[in-house]
């Protein structure tokens, strides 16, 4: 099979890396891909949002399956465009992708169908939003309604911080039209975790659990990012966490989407939190999580291409998992998620041994050497027989590959190890 992966980041690097292991793969193309993805796929100079050019390419190269990595093409209707041309594509259509494209819609869905989540209110008027925050007090959570690359959420410890976030989103338009509406919701305390699942209609097939680290700095301090690292499994959760989340959240959500006339097909990501009353939804994404994908796919022993085809064909996929743990740590540019410099030399990437995985998110090759080309530069992932060893190995490698102008969190996985010094 000829396969096209749309995207260029660490998530797409991981997808291409996993797909190339399939005996059923002919040629893997990546649009636009990256210099790192070019090591496992043929890169194509087409923007990930250029639907017309991507459809034409898929026809020209007789692509058997297209896989959409990023959220923006899904929210913009890439799947609809491909399906209208009779092309096979993995991902939700435009209406279903609104579960990520609009936080207000996701909240409406959960409220209507009794899917557990935080109490909330949506606003298009700045003064009304401020009055609501002042009434509720802090801590409180402010979210831009639309897509903001994982940076549109503020967990405000004070009313003043919450009002600043509202000002930034609604008055200063930091996220453009994505901030025309905001969702203000209660702060939930508990253990956060990520659950991704393959979905086709009512059928939901879970992947293993993982935990992301959104805050930029040690001990979960600093601003929210797109993710500074992840690990799997999540041993501090109850043994029945996955089953409970499936029964209370994932399966009801799949049925709710059908009831709304928006049946879901693709990968559904749920950002969850385990509270004193069980799991609740923090957010839904309409695609593979990033960086969770980079620690979950290394644990998947099954053929990913076969799994995706089975899901699309309405068949139950065979999901077999490696019992080993995986830890992934992100190397980021200094200043991220704010302003940062590109072009930082990365001279130490050869320090990675063959037992360690490296997924590039924002790099480029210049004169045969690697340089940074984004806020999140790459992720180092390590598999080991137990989580502590995986965490130690990943830290050892990323310490060797870091360079001036970069930083990383050395406490990824600290909650699983109960590292009080980082709490």
pLDDT in tens, 338-371: 999 999 999 988 777 767 899 999 999 999 899 9
pLDDT at 139 over 90: yes
Beta bridge partners of 42: 29
pLDDT at 420: 38
Q: Which two tokens stand for residue 95?
A: 């209406």
Distances from the Cα of 273 to the Cαs of 43, 89, 102, 150, in angstroms? 38, 31, 20, 17
Q: Which of 136, 123, 219 is nearest to 415 (CA)?
A: 219
Give me the CATH code for the 125-180 domain, please.
3.30.1490.20
408 secondary structure, DSSP code: -
Share of the chain above pLDDT 70, in %: 98
Query: pLDDT band at residue 314, thresholds of 50, 70 and 90?
Result: very high
Q: Give the model's confidence band at 391: pLDDT under 50 very low, under 70 low, under 90 confident, else very high.
A: very high
With 70 as the cut, is the pLDDT of residue 263 above it?
yes
For the stretch 148-205, pLDDT in tens is 877 788 999 999 999 999 999 999 999 999 899 999 999 998 999 999 999 999 999 9
* Stretch 71-78: mean pLDDT: 97
Q: What CATH fold (topology level) applies to the domain 325-422?
A: 3.90.600
Q: Which fold has domain 3-93?
A: Rossmann fold (3.40.50)
pLDDT single digits (tens) 30-50: 999 999 999 999 999 999 999
Tokens encoding 351? 């320090």
Angle at 249 between CA 309 and CA 76, to 5 degrees: 55
What pLDDT sits at residue 421?
A: 35
- Whole-number pLDDT of residue 357: 96
Report the chain's mean pLDDT, rounded to a whole number.
95
| Among 43, 55, 107, 60, residue whose Cα is nearest residue 79 | 55
Q: What CATH number was assigned to the domain covering residues 191-312? A: 3.30.470.20
Q: What value does the mean pLDDT take over residues 300-325?
A: 98
Give CA–CA dist 322/320, Å, rounded.
7
d(CA 89, CA 101): 19
Query: Nearest Cα to 142, choosing from 187, 101, 209, 180?
Result: 187
99 phi, psi to nearest 5 deg: -60, -25
Asked if 201 and 265 touch (Cβ cutoff 8 Å), the reply is yes
- Helix spans in 63-189 (H): 71-75, 78-84, 94-101, 103-112, 126-136, 159-166
At 411 the pLDDT is: 95
pLDDT at 147 over 90: no
Tell me which residue of 57, 55, 53, 91 sits closest to 75, measured CA to CA: 91
**245-263 average pLDDT score:** 98
Strands (E), 129-277: 140-144, 153-156, 182-186, 191-200, 203-206, 211-212, 215-217, 221-224, 229-232, 265-275
Res 201: pLDDT = 98
> If pLDDT is split at 50, 70 and 90, which confidence band does 422 have?
very low
State the SS3 of 105-124: HHHHHHHHCCCCECCEEEEC
What is the band of 410 on the pLDDT scale with cuts at 50, 70, 90?
very high
Tokens, residue 387: 């989580």
Q: Model pTM?
A: 0.92
| Domain definitions of the chain by residue range | 3-93, 125-180, 191-312, 325-422
Residue 122 and residue 138: Cα distance in Å, rounded? 17
Residue 94 CA: distances (Å) to CA of 63, 82, 102, 204, 282 = 21, 12, 11, 20, 21
pLDDT at 353: 72
Q: Is 255 exposed, middle or buried (0-12, 13-18, 19+ CB in 10 A)?
A: middle
Q: What b/e string do you get for 201-236 counting C-beta neighbours within 10 Å, with b at 16 or more?
A: eebbbbbbbbbbbbbbebebeeebbbbbbbbbbbee
What lies within 8 Å, CB to CB, of 298 at 6+ separation is 14, 322, 326, 357, 381, 383
- Calculate mean pLDDT across residues 285-313: 98
Percent of the chain scoring above 90 in pLDDT: 91
């Amino acid at each position: 099979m000829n396969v096209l992966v749309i995207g260029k980041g660490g998530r797409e690097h991981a997808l291409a890396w996993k797909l190339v292991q399939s005996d059923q793969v002919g040629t893997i193309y990546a649009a636009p891909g990256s210099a790192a993805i070019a090591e496992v796929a043929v890169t194509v100079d087409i923007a990930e949002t250029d639907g017309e050019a991507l459809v034409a390419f898929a026809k020209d190269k007789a692509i058997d399956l297209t896989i959409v990595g990023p959220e923006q093409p899904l929210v913009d209707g890439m799947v609809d465009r491909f399906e209208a041309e009779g092309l096979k594509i993995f991902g939700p259509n435009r209406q279903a992708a609104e579960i990520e494209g609009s936080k207000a819609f996701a909240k409406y869905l959960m409220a209507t169908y009794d899917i557990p989540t935080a109490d909330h209110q949506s606003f298009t008027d700045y003064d009304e939003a401020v009055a609501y925050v002042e009434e509720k007090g802090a801590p409180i959570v402010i979210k831009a309604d639309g897509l903001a690359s994982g940076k549109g959420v503020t967990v405000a410890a004070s009313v003043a911080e919450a009002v600043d976030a509202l000002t930034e989103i609604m008055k200063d338009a930091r996220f453009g039209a994505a901030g025309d509406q905001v969702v203000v919701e209660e702060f939930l305390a508990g253990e956060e975790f990520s659950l991704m699942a393959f979905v086709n209609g009512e059928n939901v097939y879970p992947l293993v659990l993982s935990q992301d680290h959104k805050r930029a700095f040690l001990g979960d301090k600093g601003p929210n990012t797109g993710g500074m690292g992840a690990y799997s499994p999540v041993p501090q959760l109850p043994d029945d966490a996955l089953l409970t989340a499936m029964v209370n959240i994932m399966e009801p959500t799949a049925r709710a989407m059908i009831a709304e006339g928006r049946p879901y097909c693709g990968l559904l990501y749920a950002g969850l939190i385990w509270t004193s009353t069980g799991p609740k939804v923090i957010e839904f994404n309409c695609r593979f999580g990033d960086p969770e994908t980079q620690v979950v796919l290394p644990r998947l022993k099954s053929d990913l291409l076969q799994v995706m085809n089975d899901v699309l064909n309405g068949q139950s996929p065979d999901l077999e998992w490696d019992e080993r743990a995986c830890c992934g740590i992100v190397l980021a540019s200094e200043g991220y998620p704010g302003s940062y410099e590109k072009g930082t030399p990365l001279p130490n990437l050869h320090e990675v041994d063959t037992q360690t995985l490296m997924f590039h998110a924002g790099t480029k090759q210049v004169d045969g050497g690697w340089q940074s080309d984004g806020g999140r530069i790459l992720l180092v992932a390590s598999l080991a027989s137990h989580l502590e060893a995986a965490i130690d190995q990943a830290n050892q490698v990323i310490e060797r590959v870091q360079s001036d102008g970069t930083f990383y969190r050395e406490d990824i996985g600290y909650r699983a190890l109960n590292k009080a010094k980082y709490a």
